[in-house]
Amino acid sequence: MMANPYAPPQAVVTDVVRDTGIVPADRGTRLGAVLLDSVIAGAMIMLPTGIAMAVALPMASTQQGNAAIVMLVVALLVFVAGFGVWGWLTFKFVNENGQTIAKKIIGIKVVRADGSPASLGRIFWLRNVVNVLLGVIPLYNLVEVLFIFGDERQCLHDKIADTIVVRA
């Protein structure tokens, strides 16, 4: 049988499936990491500051002049020290492997959507700074987190930064 020269061209197309081994983090795991990061930051920054203030304020109210100022400066220094330690650890872990302190504990990390490592700049500027700036838009933060329920499990900040959160 002869092929019809007027028939449309035909081709066999197979789908290309790339098994990159990337396993997206569960939504609950991501929520747990956010909550744990908040607890860790509070424990490292606000708890010591609160204790320093609890000690400083009664002393400041009974003391006169310079002693009260010294006590409040000490509380401020405790805040700065706690923030510095928390910031340094967070910077270190994000720079090394795309993980915050809690993400490291839980075993998840941020990578580019193609699975390659996400740079510190991408994580800091696009995932965090841009997201905070957009947070001034009413209801943005609610909409932003609701994106997690899509098939890709990406919040809006993930889409902006072209990142995903995966099991480490």
Cα dist. 46→42, 54, 123, 125 in Å? 5, 12, 24, 25
- pLDDT at residue number 12: 77
pLDDT for the residue numbered 3: 81
Q: Sort 75 into a burial class: Cβ within 10 Å, 0-12 / 13-18 / 19+.
A: buried
Query: CA–CA distance from 138 to each of 104, 135, 143, 160 (Å)?
Result: 32, 7, 10, 18
Q: Tell me the CB-side half-sphere exposure of residue 147, using CA atoms within 13 A.
A: 15
Give the pLDDT score at 19: 60
Please tell me the predicted confidence (pLDDT) of residue 69: 81
- pLDDT for residue 123: 96
Beta bridge partners of 165: 110
Per-residue pLDDT of the chain (168 residues; tens, 9 = 90+): 678 888 888 877 666 555 667 899 999 999 999 999 999 999 999 999 999 888 887 776 776 667 778 888 988 999 999 999 999 999 999 999 999 999 999 999 999 999 999 999 999 999 999 999 999 999 999 999 999 999 889 999 999 999 999 999
Q: Give the model's pLDDT for residue 54.
A: 87
Structure tokens at 26: 């569960």
Per-residue pLDDT at 1: 66
Name the DSSP class of 23: -
